């Protein structure tokens, strides 16, 4: 443990060093401003942007007798060529013939070009070189004109992007089929389309010193707790790292319990899910470059709620909800329970079943715990192989693998047949709650080992430990186990049952609600009364 402290201090030092290094190394882009000389500017830009092959520098002249030299700098593949051709070059070359260099002399005259000649939506005037380059790297086009120390940055972002498709991870039978894409703007637009409200705020930050990734915080002002929004922002601002490539990076930097196996931030690929969560008072974090949107705070039961619960009828939704809890319980305890029953508590198995199971176990070489662990490992390997392989082979291989291993291991007498049944049941159940499946795998392992040593007592001790941990966890100030404990009777409407929409009167209290009431009371459909 003492060593640990030293290690900690050591790591701290290294980290401090790193940050300093970064600060000193990064200004390859100088703080310089642009000069009036186009040649010099271009030289400087070439210098900074280096030999990258996708940098296009287009020099041209325009105005009266083509006396004005100018240059466009943009990145090939990041920009929309049509805009550049039609809205920048064309107006300058064709319509600006009459402008003489003298006319441009007055200091504010670059403003004229900006105002009159560029038929593009977003144009800004930039002086510092660094800013211009950053914009250029993000897909904008720099227009440099000889004689000006200012550059015009024209918004020409446009690149090949995946279109809005149905998300593969969260398929629904009923409900919208669109999913987020890798482009932040598309994602914000998808959300904006769901929530047409001026209170719906999208704030953008840039994170990652090297990647300069755009990260967007989305919330509904007046519904989300302002303290929560502040907390999210301050945590995000604390991140000082090289790269943010996926929302998972952010999650690990700002989650409450970094050592806990439980995820304390939810993610979703579906705009309707994220919109619903924002409407409940949560804050969403969108990261450029990934379709996975984070929402905070997360509570444990969120893993058991699916978008479709709210689109299908309440009875069935409630049934399925309960089934998910059951499946979760099965997936974490089934192998452990089997091990405990067969090695410690044989008295709890009904006699005929015991005889059958004992017969199946005759001659198998490994103890039940070992069997459970081996089969569990094999299952995880098969699953991983199935996920990683190209889809057409993947499913085939996992099925064949499972059949061959399961079938032949049993017939060879290596593994008892009941164990194969238990493990496959566990596996199937684990697919029901995908967002907690990593927790489930860990819990299953720990419980199985505990059960192997102390039977049911071990399982109960393990579950109690888990309960304590769950009760102690918080996600952005909200108790993780929230509507269950601390108990909020009002919020139980959406835990084991999903009450009909007209009865969902309030927003969940657990999430630091602000605007408590969700809808009018008494919206239950009913035949009109006589005096109405």
Which of these ranges, 26-34, 87-95, 238-246, 448-456, lies near another protein under the rule CB under 8 A? 448-456
Which of these ranges, 121-129, 134-142, 210-218, 347-355, lies near another protein under the rule CB under 8 A? 347-355
- Reduced to 3 states (helix: H, G, I; strand: E, B; else coil), residue 210 is coil
Q: Judged by CB, which is closer to another protein: 229, or 492? A: 492
521 binds another protein per the rule CB under 8 A: no
18 binds another protein per the rule CB under 8 A: no
Binder among 358, 393, 400, 404 for another protein (CB under 8 A): 358
297 binds another protein per the rule CB under 8 A: no
Q: Smallest distance from the beta carbon of 453 to another protein, in angstroms?
A: 4
Tokens, residue 238: 């604390």
348 binds another protein per the rule CB under 8 A: yes
Are residues 288 and 213 in contact, defined by beta-carbon separation less than 8 angstroms? yes
**Please, what is the Cα angle at 273 between 293 and 199, to 5 degrees?**
80
Q: Which phi and psi angles does 72 have, rounded to 5°?
A: -110, 135
Q: Smallest distance from the beta carbon of 162 to another protein, in angstroms?
A: 36
Binder among 192, 235, 240, 361 for another protein (CB under 8 A): 361
Q: Judged by CB, which is closer to another protein: 64, or 460? A: 460
Query: 156 to 185, contacts with another protein by CB under 8 A?
Result: none
- Can you tell me the distance from the alpha carbon of 199 to that of 102, in angstroms, rounded to the nearest whole number? 49
Binder among 60, 159, 453, 516 for another protein (CB under 8 A): 453
- Can you tell me the distance from the alpha carbon of 133 to that of 49, in angstroms, rounded to the nearest whole number? 8
278 binds another protein per the rule CB under 8 A: no
471 binds another protein per the rule CB under 8 A: yes
**Within 13 Å and on the Cβ side, how many CA atoms surround 353?**
9
Buried b (16+ CB within 10 A) or exposed e, 78-89: bbbeebbeebbb
Tokens, residue 474: 């918080």
Tokens, residue 157: 């972002």
- Can you tell me the distance from the alpha carbon of 203 to that of 234, in angstroms, rounded to the nearest whole number? 13
14 binds another protein per the rule CB under 8 A: no
334 binds another protein per the rule CB under 8 A: no
378 binds another protein per the rule CB under 8 A: no
**Within 13 Å and on the Cβ side, how many CA atoms surround 102?**
1
Query: 230 to 259, contacts with another protein by CB under 8 A?
Result: 257-259
11 binds another protein per the rule CB under 8 A: no
413 binds another protein per the rule CB under 8 A: no
- Can you tell me the distance from the alpha carbon of 513 to that of 498, in angstroms, rounded to the nearest whole number? 20
412 binds another protein per the rule CB under 8 A: no
Q: Smallest distance from the beta carbon of 352 to another protein, in angstroms?
A: 8
Are residues 310 and 299 in contact, defined by beta-carbon separation less than 8 angstroms? no
35 binds another protein per the rule CB under 8 A: no
- Can you tell me the distance from the alpha carbon of 84 to that of 154, in angstroms, rounded to the nearest whole number? 9
Query: For the chain, first and last CA: distance in Å?
Result: 75
Which of these ranges, 108-116, 157-165, 279-287, 444-452, lies near another protein under the rule CB under 8 A? 444-452
Q: Which residue has the tokens 């389309």?
A: 193
CB-neighbour burial class of residue 429 (10 A; exposed 0-12, middle 13-18, buried 19+):
buried
Q: Judged by CB, which is closer to another protein: 5, or 98? A: 5
Query: Contact positions toward another protein, by CB under 8 A?
Result: 1-2, 4-5, 257-260, 342-348, 350-351, 354-359, 361-364, 367-368, 446, 449-450, 452-458, 460-462, 464-465, 467-469, 471-473, 479, 481, 484-487
């Amino acid at each position: 443990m003492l060593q640990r402290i030293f290690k900690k201090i050591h790591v701290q030092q290294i980290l401090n060093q790193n940050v300093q290094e970064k600060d000193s190394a990064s200004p390859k882009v100088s703080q310089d401003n642009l000069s009036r000389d186009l040649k010099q500017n271009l030289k400087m830009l070439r210098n900074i942007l280096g030999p990258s092959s996708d940098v296009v520098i287009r020099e041209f002249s325009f105005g009266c007798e083509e006396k004005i030299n100018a240059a466009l700098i943009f990145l090939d593949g990041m920009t929309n060529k049509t805009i550049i051709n039609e809205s920048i070059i064309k107006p300058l070359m064709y319509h600006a013939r009459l402008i003489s260099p003298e006319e441009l002399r007055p200091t504010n005259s670059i403003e004229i070009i900006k105002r009159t000649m560029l038929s593009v939506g977003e144009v800004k005037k930039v002086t510092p070189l660094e800013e211009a380059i950053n914009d250029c790297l993000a897909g904008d086009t720099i227009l440099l004109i000889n004689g000006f120390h200012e550059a015009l940055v024209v918004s020409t972002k446009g690149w090949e992007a995946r279109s809005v498709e149905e998300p593969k991870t969260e398929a629904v039978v009923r409900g919208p089929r669109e999913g987020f894409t890798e482009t932040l703007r598309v994602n914000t637009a998808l959300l904006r389309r769901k929530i047409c409200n001026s209170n719906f705020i999208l704030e953008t930050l840039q994170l990652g010193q090297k990647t300069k990734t755009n990260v967007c915080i989305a919330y509904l002002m007046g519904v989300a707790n302002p303290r929560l929004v502040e907390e999210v922002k301050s945590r995000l601002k604390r991140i000082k790292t090289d790269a943010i490539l996926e929302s998972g990076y952010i999650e690990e930097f700002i989650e409450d319990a970094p050592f806990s196996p439980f995820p304390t931030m939810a993610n979703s690929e579906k705009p309707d899910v994220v919109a619903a969560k924002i409407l409940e008072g949560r804050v969403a974090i969108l990261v450029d470059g990934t379709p996975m949107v984070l929402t905070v705070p997360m509570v444990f039961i969120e893993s058991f709620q699916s978008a479709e619960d709210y689109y299908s009828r309440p009875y069935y939704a409630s049934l399925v909800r309960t089934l998910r809890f059951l499946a979760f319980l099965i997936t974490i305890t089934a192998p452990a329970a089997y091990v405990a029953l067969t090695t410690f508590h044989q008295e709890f198995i009904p006699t005929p079943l015991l005889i059958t199971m004992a017969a199946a176990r005759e001659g198998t070489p490994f103890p039940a715990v070992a069997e459970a662990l081996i089969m569990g490992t094999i299952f995880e390997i098969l699953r991983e192989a199935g996920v990683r392989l190209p889809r057409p082979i993947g499913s085939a291989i996992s099925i064949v693998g499972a059949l061959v291993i399961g079938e032949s291991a049993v017939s060879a007498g290596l593994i008892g047949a009941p164990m194969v049944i238990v493990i496959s049941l566990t596996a199937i159940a684990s697919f029901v709650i995908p967002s907690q499946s990593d927790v489930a795998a860990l819990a299953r392992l720990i419980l199985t080992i505990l059960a192997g040593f102390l039977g049911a007592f071990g399982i109960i001790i393990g579950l109690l430990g888990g309960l304590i941990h769950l009760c102690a966890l918080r996600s952005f100030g909200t108790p993780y186990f929230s509507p269950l404990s601390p108990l909020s009777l009002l919020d139980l409407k959406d835990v084991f049952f999903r009450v009909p929409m007209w009865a969902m009167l309030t927003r969940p209290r657990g999430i630091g609600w602000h605007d408590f009431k969700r809808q009018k009371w008494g919206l239950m459909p009913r035949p009109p009364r006589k005096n109405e």
